[in-house]
Chain A
């Protein structure tokens, strides 16, 4: 099956998922990102790479944070950014996803940054653009349902590389609601592709999807065993809906069994780093002492996130 992310020259045309992305492509993105990190320290926080290009942020699912970082990334590349909060616009009047895309393409969009509640939505868009001879328009998946959040996966890898240098001897634990997490899936694919020897998923049975072993992950339901001697802890956000879906009894009980406290952090390696895609629920998945402590690199993730997104967009736009 033709990988819809790649054009016929094998170059990245869209970024839809990390799954199936060759290791070389991932490293290229990370290497390029390191050049973008320092731009935020300059007088003129811009490079002219995407000057005159129009980037449309299509957010069918609300997210001020992710949309803002993409907006900053686009603007630092000198692109023009148009934000579309679709819930409030024509979609709610019944316009189909593809009709919305066609209308925006008619306004000469160069790039769509798409967040959607349905897994696979960006694929539908990418396929439609290819089918309608608009393959010069690029799609960046900013999160689709539970499936993927590739830029988050990439910035998480950038963060790990920044602090740990070498992927080949790390143990990484991902903790929390893996079942519903696109961040977890993207992190898993990135970690396994980059050669991390041990990737662990930690959570209650109700929040662990089937088939994790086939993705190269060791499953733990006991946080103490799951965190033992790990180098990197990625805490996932727990959403309120999980309580109403009979998946968990309460946030307190979740914290009791799976919350990252200083005592549990001590089970990991002494120089372990703590990551979180944000926004954090203090006292639910993570203790404030840990969130504000020296092991947490959560704010670095945000900074790196802008650079990684700049790298992704500039690589795509140039292909």
Chain B
């Protein structure tokens, strides 16, 4: 199908474009920007007057809950949530049930996702079998099956030797390792940021040391192995200092932050609101300030949604018993825009969008998040002024829990196009 998107403000951070330009799609590719390709005749015209035309969003972490956790969410509902959120490429962690440590499971997941004809799904393979931190997985086979990198999800490796070997092995083939920087022991039983709020509320704390101790180890292993590491969900000021220094040193590391952590702090736990039970926990104001500064100076490469659908049974519990996680695919755009709005002159719209498109794509090594002629026709058309209230009814995801419930956010997707196919239209 030939699609002509006209009258929109085209923002493509990768190519440095921010202008009133039309977009022309032929089949599954972008055929023209600003002017049509030769002989173009539109089958479908989309009027993007007042809208922004951006690359489809690239989300570095979205749990789809299949296989195994279908009572929490299914591929159908979460893939629908993705395109409603303007996400056209997403990376999913390996902590499914069974864990994504077998090529067959990865193939099945990719096949299921493809058949829905919505966002592109890029699974992370398990770094160790069963995520148990003992035996290596068949990384080469898993990569052939479609894994783009390897991860331990939320299960830190206790035996440092195993982590060393895994990174050495991955480096052999040039595979990336995505790690959550958390110490296997310090802070493991904590549920909230170690600080005045946790002390007042009597909640067991997660010290920032949980993150920094892990980072020291990881960087040392990177120096030793040369493996490329992506750090998932940074949360502390001290940790970001270490990342900044590591990058300056020239280590091959990148990192991301969860969209909720760009905005919220421990105070948002309020009166034990289990919607604010997240991992890593919401930290202090200084940590949030450091996150925002790190986004500006490039220490943090990307913002992801960390989409984790949790059902009522696991959230309507006392704080310490509730499962961690929040729904995020449909909030990613608004939360990135909110950051841009609040950072004013320092983070103009293209810069904020880069964190959820081109920069994220670069981290994941994907040819995505850009609107070059010839690149995949993955497009997100959104209304930057539209306001919407975060409520269960407004969300396609089966995960209805987020600390932003009841908030009014700005920015709403109108049309999502994946590989030239209109996957969502509001």
Contacts and interface: CB of A to CB of B under 8 A. Distances in A.
14 contacts: A96-B313, A97-B318, A119-B319, A120-B318, A120-B319, A123-B272, A124-B317, A127-B271, A145-B203, A146-B203, A210-B194, A210-B205, A211-B195, A215-B200
A116 interface: yes
A201 B114 CA distance: 61
B321 interface: yes
Contacts of A132: none
Given A209-B205, A210-B194, A215-B199, 19 more contacts: A1-B271, A19-B200, A96-B313, A96-B316, A120-B201, A120-B318, A123-B271, A123-B272, A124-B272, A124-B316, A127-B271, A128-B316, A145-B318, A146-B202, A146-B203, A182-B202, A185-B202, A211-B196, A211-B199
A148 interface: yes
Contact of B200 (A4, A121, A123, A211): A211
Contacts of B198: 209, 211
Contacts of B39: none
A215 B201 contact: no
Nearest to B207: A210
B270 interface: yes
Contacts of B199: 209-212, 214-215
B320 interface: yes
Interface in A193-218: 209-212, 214-215
A243 interface: no
A237 interface: no
A241 B204 CA distance: 15
Nearest to B320: A118
Contacts of A123: 271-272
A210 B196 CA distance: 6
Nearest to B204: A146
B314 to A, nearest CB: 10
A86 to B, nearest CB: 13
Given A1-B270, A1-B271, A215-B200, A120 B320 contact: yes
A299 interface: no
Contacts of A144: 202, 318
Contacts of A96: 313, 316-317
A249 B203 CA distance: 24
A119 B205 contact: no
Interface residues of B, number: 23
A87 interface: no
Interface string A126-163: 01100000000000000011111000000000000000
Interface of B: 194-205, 270-272, 274, 313, 316-321
A97 B197 CA distance: 24
A174 to B, nearest CB: 14
B202 A148 contact: yes
B237 to A, nearest CB: 16
Interface of A: 1, 3-4, 19, 96-98, 116, 118-121, 123-124, 127-128, 144-148, 182, 185, 209-212, 214-215
A19 B272 CA distance: 14
A158 B195 CA distance: 30
A288 B317 CA distance: 42
Contacts of B203: 119-120, 145-147
Contacts of B201: 119-120, 147
A59 B349 CA distance: 54
A49 B205 CA distance: 43
A127 B272 CA distance: 11
A141 to B, nearest CB: 11
A1 to B, nearest CB: 5
A145 B320 contact: yes
A121 B333 CA distance: 34
A118 B191 CA distance: 11
Contacts of A127: 271
Given A211-B195, A211-B200, A215-B199, A116 B317 contact: no
A127 B345 CA distance: 41
Contacts of A4: 271
Nearest to A120: B272
A116 B200 contact: no
Contact of B318 (A118, A148, A211): A118
A116 B200 CA distance: 17
A97 B319 contact: no
Contacts of A146: 202-204
A19 B202 CA distance: 12
A120 B192 CA distance: 13
Contacts of A120: 201, 203, 271-272, 318-320
Given A98-B316, A120-B320, A124-B318, A210 B195 contact: yes
Nearest to A186: B202
A224 B194 CA distance: 29
Contacts of A214: 196, 199
A230 to B, nearest CB: 22
Q: Closest 9 interchain pairs by CB?
A: A120-B272, A147-B202, A211-B196, A146-B202, A118-B318, A211-B199, A119-B202, A209-B199, A121-B318
B178 to A, nearest CB: 31
